[in-house]
A and B are shown apart, each in its own frame.
Chain A
Amino acid sequence: MQSSSCKQAERYSRQVLFAGIGPAGQERIGQSQVALVGVGATGAAAAGLLARAGVGRLTLIDRDFVEESNLQRQVLFDEADARESLPKAEAARRKIALFNSEITVEAHVADLTPGNVHELLRGADLVLDATDNFETRYLLNDYSVEQGRPWIYAAAVGAYAVTMNILPGETACLACIFPEAPGGTVETCDTAGILNTAVNVAASMEVAEALKYLTGQQEKMRRTLLSVDQWSNEWSEVRTERPRTDCRSCGARDFVHLRGEGRAHITLCGRNSVQIHEHGRPVDFAELAARLRPHGDVRSNDMLLRFQRGEHVLTVFKDGRAIVQGTTDVGLARSLYARFVGA
């Protein structure tokens, strides 16, 4: 009978054979802990890669449930998960256990917030981003800079994938490059669509960088913000090796997102509805209506736009504030808002 370490040697043999990893690198990967924020398309692909590569401890954080429209690209989920509306973090944990039972996976069905970020990410050597919104990314960025722990930004929309390594003290941080989140409405996977190939590119690139970090080869990590458009075949890169001296986050260490400032304030309002007090996101009703029309019933007047999709009704006001009817689930309401109005 083979010992467990022999079985492990067999499992990872092809990865160990790769000169960049080797036996010592594999050992380090097995002893590391990675947190993955968001287990949707990019997150499911990244979680699968990290788990198969043998990352010893994985923390999966996601606020959503599996739906049928996820199956086109979210590689860890199946039709039964969608029928049962299983939380994505838990569905991913179960699926990973089927192909690598030797690692530890913790699933958290939660929205990452300033209130729980320290608790949920505690112990992680590295944080990988696979969220669907800017707000969580700025929270991750402030956390990473505060703690001196790296994170990797990765996102995809349409055929476009983009990623950047943030190594506090060495490279620019997200706020150096993009001081603020885009204002107004933004394209999301639910309005602009998404190719499953683009999310896999984003996930593959961030996990390859993660493997370099986990095996102690930080100097080999890419120092650029990189984008790949798989439809136009355009690749572009912006250098990120120098932090901006006047950066709010890594320069002044003013962690507004850890303090929860600028965060959309959410309250339950009345029965079966959630109000999202988004500020500073002036909404162009004509543009939003045109984008939403393929996805549900849209009506608007001078003051508000009403969008009905299944049992949920989103009422959006000129300043970006919205009321989501048909749920008391704050995470779901926030998610609907991120999907259809903007992240």
Chain B
Amino acid sequence: MQLLINGQQREFAELSETSAVSDLLAALHLKGDRVALERNGEIVPRSAWSETRLCDGDKIEIVHFVGGGKR
């Protein structure tokens, strides 16, 4: 499956039309409680990640929840 992630075209052999957003996060080795994800311009709340299916060509934006800055 081809996905546009943060503006970059990526190919995922392990993902298909039955895969969900949660499968993509697993494929990217991302921990679910520290990212926000948008699919085709709509934010997908964490509670809907396992039931939100991916489609070929989806435009995905992922932003990490970062805690640093001060030290």
Contacts and interface: CB of A to CB of B under 8 A. Distances in A.
B71 A239 contact: no
A42 interface: yes
B27 interface: no
A202 B66 CA distance: 11
Contact of A41 (B42, B66, B70): B70
Contact of B6 (A156, A234, A244): A234
A3 B67 CA distance: 45
B65 A178 contact: yes
9 smallest CB-CB distances across A and B, nearest first, come from: A40-B70, A132-B70, A343-B67, A42-B69, A157-B68, A236-B6, A38-B70, A155-B69, A182-B34
A162 B64 contact: yes
Nearest to B46: A179
A183 B64 CA distance: 14
A339 interface: yes
Interface of B: 6-8, 31, 33-34, 36-38, 41-43, 45-46, 61-71
B41 A155 contact: no
A194 B63 CA distance: 18
A194 B42 CA distance: 31
B65 A188 contact: no
Contacts of A40: 69-71
Contacts of A131: 69-70
A266 to B, nearest CB: 18
Given A132-B71, A180-B33, A182-B33, A239 B64 contact: no
B71 to A, nearest CB: 5
A154 interface: yes
A189 interface: yes
Contacts of A181: 67
Given A227-B63, A235-B7, A239-B38, A156 B68 contact: yes
A202 B61 contact: no
Contacts of A190: 71
A126 interface: no
A154 B69 contact: yes
Interface in A2-44: 38-43
A188 B71 contact: yes
Given A177-B43, A234-B7, A234-B8, A225 B67 contact: no
A160 interface: yes
Given A132-B71, A238-B63, 9 more contacts: A40-B69, A42-B70, A160-B64, A160-B66, A178-B65, A226-B63, A234-B7, A237-B61, A238-B62
Interface in A58-100: 62, 64, 70
Contacts of B41: 239
A39 to B, nearest CB: 8
A70 B69 CA distance: 11
A3 B28 CA distance: 61
A210 B63 CA distance: 21
23 contacts: A40-B69, A41-B71, A132-B68, A133-B70, A155-B66, A155-B68, A160-B64, A160-B66, A162-B63, A177-B43, A178-B36, A182-B33, A182-B65, A186-B67, A187-B68, A194-B68, A234-B6, A237-B38, A237-B63, A238-B37, A239-B43, A335-B71, A338-B71
Contacts of B42: 239
